[in-house]
Amino acid sequence: MKTGTPEWIELIQKEIKPFGIVINKDQGSSLAFHARELLEWNKKFNLTAIKDPAEVAVKHFLDSLIPASFILPDSHLLDIGSGGGFPGIPLAILIPSLQTLLIDSVRKKVSFLQYVIRSLNLKNAEAIHARAEELVQNVEFANFFDIIICRALTALDRFVLMSQPLLKENGILIALKGKINQEEINDVYNLGIKGINIEIIKYQLPLYKAERAVVKITMPSSLIHPKP
Contact in structure between 56 and 38 (CB atoms under 8 Å): yes
54-91 pLDDT per residue, tens: 999 999 999 999 999 999 989 999 999 999 999 999 99
Write down the pTM of the prediction. 0.94
Question: What are the residues whose beta carbons fall under 8 Å from the beta carbon of 133, sequence distance 6 or more?
Answer: 162
Annotated binding site: 81, 86, 132-133, 151
C-alpha 12/C-alpha 207 separation (Å) is 11
Q: To which H or E segment does residue 78 belong?
A: strand 76-80
Q: What pLDDT band is residue 152 in, cutting at 50, 70 and 90?
A: low
pLDDT band at 169 (very low <50, low <70, confident <90, very high): confident
Q: Which amino acid is at 168?
A: K
The single-letter DSSP state of residue 66 is G
Average pLDDT of the chain to the nearest whole number: 93
List pLDDT tens digits, range 174-204. Answer: 999 988 889 999 999 999 888 899 999 999 9
Give the span between the Cα atoms of 107 and 2, in whole angstroms.
28
Closest CA to 110 of 195, 45, 182: 45
For residue 23, pLDDT over 90 is answered with: yes
- Residue ranges of domains in the chain, CATH in brackets: 6-219 (3.40.50.150)
Tell me if 168 sits within 8 A of 144, measured CB to CB. yes
Q: Which residues are annotated as a binding site for S-adenosyl-L-methionine?
A: 81, 86, 132-133, 151
